Amino acid sequence: MSNATAGGPGRIAGNGAVTARAPAKINVHLGVGSLRADGYHELQTVFLAVSLFDTITVRPAEGLSLTVRGEGATAGRGPGSVPNDRRNLAWQAAELLARHAGVRADAHLEVDKSIPAAAGLAGGSADAAATLVALDALWGTHATRGDLAALAAQLGSDVPFSLLGGVALGTGRGEQLSPVLARRRWDWVLGIAGEGLSTPTVYAELDSLRADGAVPSGRSVEPTEPVITALRSGPPTALAAALSNDLQAPALKLRPDLRRALRAATDAGARAALVSGSGPTVAALADDEPSAVRLAAELAGAGVFRTVRAVYGPVHGARLVG
């Protein structure tokens, strides 16, 4: 992915800084298959990139360093906290790109977070994707689209989609992407809980529920065609009927309070609501932008979420800004 393709018209600022941003995602369909030999589950998922962004600014520096501002900027180790060292996926992205390009990993990374961590919205993946795009420009690595996509897949299952954006069908462990053309805008309200959920913990709970026979096994997953057809042309009722997430049951088992949150969303007028990815964020589908604004206002007063955000999609993946 050349600088122009990855980042559009962005440029290096006079102080040598480069800024990129990447979006949150919603899994409007998430079918989880059986556990693979490599420890991952086989997935069939449909990603939608939405207008909640993290921003990464990179500057020339000696060595690699990272600061975090905004959501989760506590440098802690629990779900919902964002580390400021090698545990951070943006740091790992910088090291990986440097090795690939044969350059020194010299940069200071500033991560401005609006996407909560451990929320089922791929906030860490967005940071990694934006870091790849920003450092490609700063270091002049001239990475191709295929190069950055391959590096993204090494970093995590959701990073390739954070790079791509829009709408896409994900297979494998989610990193194998087929773009989907969606001609219309979709409006959502994200209800963000106060405490994050660890993705590995949610998958482990799914395996446990399946072993106990509490939920269907992963030998087959629901087809993706209904949700893709609905995303392409609507109406909202069709998309509402097609939404599904195999990780919702284990997320609800781990966080029973999410049942109340889902009910609050539908009671407030959402066409449908589901847990986003591994949770605990609730994604509530609205008919249009005015409906989303009204829904967000009602949910903000319901007392079931820490933060409520009205968003829309699809939006672009990681891009240079400024």
**Which residues have a catalytic role annotated?**
25, 158
Q: Which residues contact 63 (CB under 8 A, 6 or more apart)?
A: 105, 106
Tokens standing for residue 114: 């609006």
Pair type for strands 176-179 and 167-171: antiparallel
Distances (CA, A) of 225 to 44, 52, 160, 242, 243: 11, 26, 22, 9, 11
Q: Which residues contact 40 (CB under 8 A, 6 or more apart)?
A: 157, 173
- Output the CA torsion 265→194→89→309 (10° steps): 40
What end-to-end distance do the CA atoms of the chain give, in Å? 19
Q: In angstroms, rounded to a whole number, what is the distance separating the alpha carbons of residues 184 and 151?
A: 31
Cα 161 to chain centroid distance, Å, stands at: 8
- Output the CA torsion 188→191→197→201 (10° steps): -50
Pair type for strands 107-113 and 64-70: parallel
- What DSSP letter does each residue of 1-49 carry, written as one string? --HHHHHTT----TTS-EEEEEEEEEEEEEEEEEEPTTSPEEEEEEEEE
**Which residue shows structure tokens 């773009």?**
179
